[in-house]
Structure 1
């Protein structure tokens, strides 16, 4: 009998807003996700992080360079607010990220530790910024030092949304994957969960298609939220649909039908 393929499910953006945090913690309580990734730069992180005491899922650091304001004074002097993703990508690939991003990464890592009392269980990035030139060496060095995994964005599995998947791989993902392998840093063999957050998307159909293709040990990243949408959240409707499906019996049924177990 073939053993079930294992799938890790990570909910991103914990700490970004109350509805997001409620949704993620509810899924943790249901054992529908195995990990959550924490955005620590907002003032509400101290309260959000304290709610993770006794959490039954692995909590990692969601490195942020595009949402809100930097933590470190040195980077705030150059960037009072983080740039939009497109601007960040252009600067990173032109070799023009400020030297102060190193201190910003250290500040975010330390803020995670200060609030939770432990090192992150893994490291990844908001909008996958952890793989970018200029950030990638910092993340790899921290992962080696702490002995923690890093999200692999070098092999993003479909089907569908091929252009977006290839962009993620090309924006540092392939280089990151090579470094993870050469450095012996733990990582999932593949990433699934990429789509366009279209309000008309049938999230269950998307997940069913991903489950049919995922290799053993892959990671599904998701963005659930529960209740009244957080102010200014551009993907609030998608977050609500994701939570509704992941919390439902349909998700458990689809895992079983695909021969996939959470782990």
Structure 2
């Protein structure tokens, strides 16, 4: 009989809004999550973080470079507001990211630590920005001294959504994974959870496919929310479906059927 495969389940975007936070906290209380990735740029972050006290999950920094405004004055001189993802991808690919990014990474790390009382347990990026050229070396430099894991976006497994998975890996994910290995920075073995947030998607079927695909030590990232939607959230409907499935007995049954344990 083969040993069960271990899977980390990380809920992204904690701190974005009350509905997101409610969904994540409810799943953490049920022990359906192993990790929570936190946005520290919203003004509500200190209040949101208080609700995480006592939660039995790892907590990490969800580095944000695409929504709201920078924390650091050095970057705000160039970007009063963060650019949209498409513009950020273009600037990173052309090597035209502005000065001040190092200050911003440190500002977000410091804000996390000031509120939580400790450095993040792991590092990743909102919309996978942590892997971009001009950003990834800053993230790895932050993770290396404490041997904090960094999300692996170089091995993004399916089934389905092959083009989106390939884009994520190509936009710095493969290079990040290689350099992290060279530098001894820990990473999950793979990433699963990529889809298009289609309101008609059958999330259970998607998860079943990811559970079959995920190797030992992989990470499933998710985006739950509960009790309504936060203003301006384009994936609010998908968040509600994710939360409902992950909270259900069906998720537990699907884990067992696939020979997967959370850890």
Per the TM superposition, whether the score is higher than 0.5 is yes
- Indicate the TM-score class for this superposition, using the shorter chain for normalisation: over 0.9
Q: Distance in 2 between matches of 1:239 and 1:103?
A: 32
SS of equivalent residue, structure 1 residue 7: strand
Query: What displacement does 1:187 show?
Result: 0.6
SS of equivalent residue, structure 1 residue 219: strand
Map 1:82-101; keep pairs closer than 5 Å: 82-101=82-101
Equivalent residue, structure 2, for 1:4: 4
Query: What displacement does 1:146 show?
Result: 2.2
Q: Distance in 2 between matches of 1:92 and 1:49?
A: 31
Q: Distance in 1 between matches of 2:39 and 2:146?
A: 19
CA deviation map 1:120-153 (0-9, x unaligned): 0000000000000111010010111222000000
Equivalent residue, structure 2, for 1:58: 58
Give the TM-score normalised by structure 1. Answer: 0.99
Structure 1: which 5+ runs fail to align? none
SS of equivalent residue, structure 2 residue 77: helix
Equivalent residue, structure 2, for 1:208: 208
Structure 2: which 5+ runs fail to align? none
Q: Distance in 2 between matches of 1:215 and 1:75?
A: 39
Structure 1 consecutive aligned stretches of length 4 or more whose deviation exceeds 6 Å: none
Q: Does 1:26 align with 2:33?
A: no
Alignment check: 8 A CA contact 2:10 2:222 kept: yes
Q: CA RMSD in A?
A: 0.6
Equivalent residue, structure 1, for 2:119: 119
Q: Distance in 2 between matches of 1:25 and 1:168?
A: 28
SS of equivalent residue, structure 1 residue 78: coil
Equivalent residue, structure 2, for 1:151: 151
